[in-house]
Structure 1
Amino acid sequence: MKKIIAILIVALALGCDDYLDIQEKGKKIPETVEDLNLLMNDYNKFIRSTVNVLFVNDEVKLYEDEVSKIFWGGVERFLNGYQWRDHIYDDPDANDSDWNDFYAQIYICNVVLDKIDEAEGDDVTLRNITKGEALAQRAYAYFMLVNIYGKHYNSTMSTSDLGVPLYTEPDVNNTKGRATVKEVYDLIEGDLQEALTLLPPKQEYPYHPSQAGVHGLLAKVYLYKGEWEEALDHAESALAINSNLYNFNDYDFIPGAPKFAGLLGFPRQTWEHEEILWTKNVSHPFVYGIGVYMTEDHLSLYDEGDRRLYFRHIEFHGYGANDRGPIIYSKENYYKAGINTPELYLIRAECNARLDRPDLAIGDLNTLRQTRFDVDKFVPYAMGMSSNEALELVFKERRVELFLEPWRWFDLKRLNLEAEYQVTLTRTFNGTTYSLSPESNNYVIAIPKKVINLNPKVEQNPRGQ
């Protein structure tokens, strides 16, 4: 492979040499379409998604006497998030991996977008794909950033609520404050709409965005904005390209092997996974499930015969067993954070329920659930219920199907804007009970202290309950 610029983001692409360290390996500057395309081929850079939301969500439970078993290096950050403290990254010198990773992706995309139109090369298709991928990847990064560090999109407040700094050029010396939530969403939508005109319907490897993946992200964007017709249209466009669902009855644990060895015949590589339209993975802090449990509330959501629970709960992992119950296990050996067909069915179902078409919503829920239950235990949801009843079932199925994907935290934020769906979260740890009210400022993750110290233009989110 040609040697091109290797871009290393030390902390944050906020326009300061103390933040951004660009080191060259070799002497070649990207000048051709092929060079720029290689930048977009950085699998390890672009597959990364959030970890912060797993610290704070309500799906896992910890016990103080088992925390020492969690041998991932971020236990202190995990506990700060778990207790909904004001700062996950309390150390002013600490790097927030979410902030750094997403701005690193944005910087690479901006380099490509700055050069692609004038780059040398006659391959028009490759030029279009490279530009489309850069637009799509930038949009995904900003979508995650604004939902982690900003308030949820609210049509009446989005022009004043603060989002994140917007960078559309690779200028490391240009410091900026925070754009509004609306400004960030406007950029996301514009990037994705343009990417649709440049990308093919599918790509050979799903870690490269395609029209299918971009339609799926647009469906999610419009869902979060509460624009149900637009979300429905894009969900249907994505499903028209890929509507695959695995039937869990076709898989089981490998006979004679411990369950953590995986499922016989089930794809473990992202590029083989036929439910994935666009690969993104959560960098989760409990890879082996040691010392981490599913909450009782989440466990109560599963009906008898649900193979999703059967695959998620195993007796022990290679590093041992938990003291108080089963190990949380991912049959993929990673948690998805991209665009996948099961969520598209759920988005379409929610939109139809919101648009007073409950039977269509229930139809999608039954299509999904039929592939997830033991054949003799599957009981379809009944037709003829109200839109509100269908919507409640959509929310339940989102929680079950999307367990330990980042969307639960964002769902809590968006549903807190609707009085009938607000919840107060509580948990007890080390003898202290912690709560998070729907109005709490701590639903919005704090901007890393290191970022603000190096760029005072960035305003901190209000903190405290």
Structure 2
Amino acid sequence: MKKINILYIALLSLFAISCDSYLDETPDNRAEVDSQIKIRKLLVSAYSEGSPTLVTELSSDNIIDMGSSNPNTTRFYEQLANWESVTETDNDDPKSAWEASYGAIANSNEALAAIEKLGSENLLPEKGEALITRAYAHFVLVNVFCKHYNSQSSATDLGIPYMEKSETTLNPKYERGTVKEVYEKINADIEAALPLISDDMYEVPAYHFTKKAAYAFAARFNLYYEQWQKAKDYASIVLTTNPSTQLRSWDDLGALPRSPGPVTNAYINNSANLLVQTDGSNLGLYFGAYYTGSRFNHSRKIADEETLFAPAPWGGVASSTYHLRPFVYSGNNLDKTLFMKIPYLFEYTDPVAGIGYRRTVVVPFTTDETLLVRAEAEVMLGENDLAMTDLNTWSKNFFVDKETTLEAVNTFYSNLPYSTADVPTQKKVLNPKFTLAAGVQENLIHYVLQCRRILTLHEGLRWFDIKRYGIEINRQQIQSDGTTAIVLDVLKVNDLRRAIQLPQDVIDAGLVSNPR
């Protein structure tokens, strides 16, 4: 019974079960969701406050192990960086993301049930928000805890339970289904939601799936779903006919005082952000000007060889190349090269005692990233000139007026060696399970992946590109001389560890674990 209760809480965070013996009394004393205003209030909780960002970022090739002499780590961080099953408890652990996502789903389903009871014809915008939030939470879960979608094996790859209604039984049994089935249900929810969403219902649109946010999600989902045309079409709705007017003003960010506070606050308060979410997380510390997490972090070595300062088709890259110059920290056991975009916020519960909760704000969707989604879809559709137009629109805005040509991109990546353990570069061997032609198409994809890797640094999205394109990772560790790096482990193309292991409580309660 204890295990059943653990599954019930960890999997769903759902409401208590009513029973005839209690007559009409609600066992958990919650208010009845019996009006439009109550449904809207409930939907505020249909957005997860537990992001997997730190889990996926530390799993990616954006970090390096600075060595055992660096004490600024925890067992939890080490487990993530080394692709181990997490046994430690932390605000940013997989269990938190799992519970928060299923809790959000429960609220979406409760809202949908109330809408059906009241008559959905008068609550279509609310229904649209409930459907899109349900789809997004499942999208996060399936991409973190499962193998990535592909047309070859997803019909048999383990998925996650797709919850389409509130639980009403005492001893529910859940099946994981397949990745293909989960993707099909996400797609159905998205398609049903898109025509219904109305921005008019939101008092604070930035924290909700507005039309643009919903279409940005639909674009990314279809990119992952290998539906290139739909990804392009949905991204185009977000970007309008003049994408350059929709992008973030990196020039304005670069003009701010060189201090984390003003820059991160300006980053999260910007019209280019299509959706923002609060998060009870240490991300602002981990990817901020602090010693926290400095053993496993984005160091100057990675920045020079693979990311921020690696050469580009249009030439060399330095701090002056960027409107918002990277923040470089170096010192005794502090080696971080960062984009300041994730604020460190503190919510005081007792100001006198100085105690409270560490929090941050994450930005799941931006116009800049949506433009790169469209560029990638165009490459896969063979529309190279259109892809180059989008890539140049992005690069001229992100960098100090940098653009290139199709010929230059093709020449640059053709001449750039593939990354090895001894000589790392930003050009990784690609092993997707969809068709990618050698030559121009592959080289354009290398450029798109590099642009996205830089743009979304510290945001966890690189992990999903690694999974989608079958990129191997060499986990390097800096040795005592401070310069020599050795490879401790390799995440192979078909490594089972690419699917983050389910929380142990959920496994103990009976849900099938990811194979290892």
Coarse TM-score class (shorter-chain normalised): 0.7 to 0.9
**Equivalent residue number for residue 57 of structure 2:** 54
**SS of alignment partner, residue 135 of structure 1:** helix
Q: Is the 8 A contact 1:114 1:169 kept in 2?
A: yes
Alignment deviations for residues 24-46 of structure 1 (CA, whole Å, 9 cap, x no partner): 88652222221111011238x53
**Equivalent residue number for residue 462 of structure 1:** 515
Give 2:449's match in structure 1, choosing from 379, 395, 398: 395
Alignment deviations for residues 401-459 of structure 1 (CA, whole Å, 9 cap, x no partner): 1112221111100101xxxxx334322278871221112110111111210211x2x21
Give 1:140's match in structure 2, choosing from 136, 139, 152: 136
**Equivalent residue number for residue 274 of structure 1:** 271
Superposed, 1:101-120 pairs within 5 Å as: 101-119=100-118
Matches of 1:84 and 1:330 in 2, distance apart?
A: 26
What's the offset of the Cα at 1:313?
A: 1.6
Give 1:325's match in structure 2, choosing from 311, 319, 335: 335
**SS of alignment partner, residue 40 of structure 1:** helix
Give 2:124's match in structure 1, choosing from 125, 128, 132: 128
**Equivalent residue number for residue 298 of structure 2:** 294
Matches of 1:39 and 1:15 in 2, distance apart?
A: 13
**SS of alignment partner, residue 489 of structure 2:** strand
Superposed, 1:253-402 pairs within 5 Å as: 254-255=256-257, 259-263=259-263, 267-268=266-267, 270=268, 272-280=269-277, 283-285=281-283, 286-288=286-288, 289-290=290-291, 291-292=293-294, 293-295=297-299, 296-300=301-305, 301-302=307-308, 303-304=317-318, 305-307=320-322, 310=325, 312-315=326-329, 323-326=333-336, 328-333=338-343, 336-374=362-400, 378-384=401-407, 385=410, 386-402=440-456
Aligned in 2, Cα 1:349/1:426: closer, same or farther, shift over 3 Å? Answer: same
Aligned in 2, Cα 1:49/1:95: closer, same or farther, shift over 3 Å? Answer: closer
Which amino acid letter does the alignment assign opposite residue 441 of structure 1? L
**SS of alignment partner, residue 84 of structure 1:** coil
Q: Unaligned stretches of 5+ in structure 2? A: 1-7, 18-25, 309-316, 344-359, 411-439, 480-485
Give 1:246's match in structure 2, choosing from 237, 245, 248: 248
Which amino acid letter does the alignment assign opposite residue 44 of structure 2? N
1:411 aligns with 2:462: no
Q: More deviation in 145-154 or 385-394? A: 385-394
Q: Is the 8 A contact 2:135 2:186 kept in 1?
A: yes
Matches of 2:127 and 2:12 in 1, distance apart?
A: 20
What's the offset of the Cα at 1:90?
A: 6.1
Aligned in 2, Cα 1:182/1:287: closer, same or farther, shift over 3 Å? Answer: same
What's the offset of the Cα at 1:352?
A: 1.2
Q: Is the 8 A contact 1:201 1:212 kept in 2?
A: no
Which amino acid letter does the alignment assign opposite residue 445 of structure 2? L
**Equivalent residue number for residue 231 of structure 1:** 231
**SS of alignment partner, residue 164 of structure 1:** coil
Q: More deviation in 428-437 or 357-366? A: 428-437
Q: Count residues in correspondence.
A: 420
Give the alignment's TM-score, normalised by structure 2: 0.73
Q: Is the 8 A contact 2:372 2:448 kept in 1?
A: yes
What's the offset of the Cα at 1:167?
A: 1.3
Which amino acid letter does the alignment assign opposite residue 198 of structure 2? P
Aligned in 2, Cα 1:406/1:324: closer, same or farther, shift over 3 Å? Answer: closer
Q: More deviation in 232-241 or 325-334? A: 325-334
RMSD: 3.2
Q: Is the 8 A contact 1:13 1:107 kept in 2?
A: yes
**Equivalent residue number for residue 5 of structure 1:** none
Aligned in 2, Cα 1:27/1:340: closer, same or farther, shift over 3 Å? Answer: closer
Matches of 2:39 and 2:327 in 1, distance apart?
A: 43
Which amino acid letter does the alignment assign opposite residue 306 of structure 1? T
1:163 aligns with 2:212: no
Give the alignment's TM-score, normalised by structure 1: 0.81
**SS of alignment partner, residue 205 of structure 2:** coil
Q: Is the 8 A contact 1:441 1:462 kept in 2?
A: yes
The sequence identity of aligned pairs, in percent, is: 24
Q: Is the 8 A contact 2:13 2:99 kept in 1?
A: no
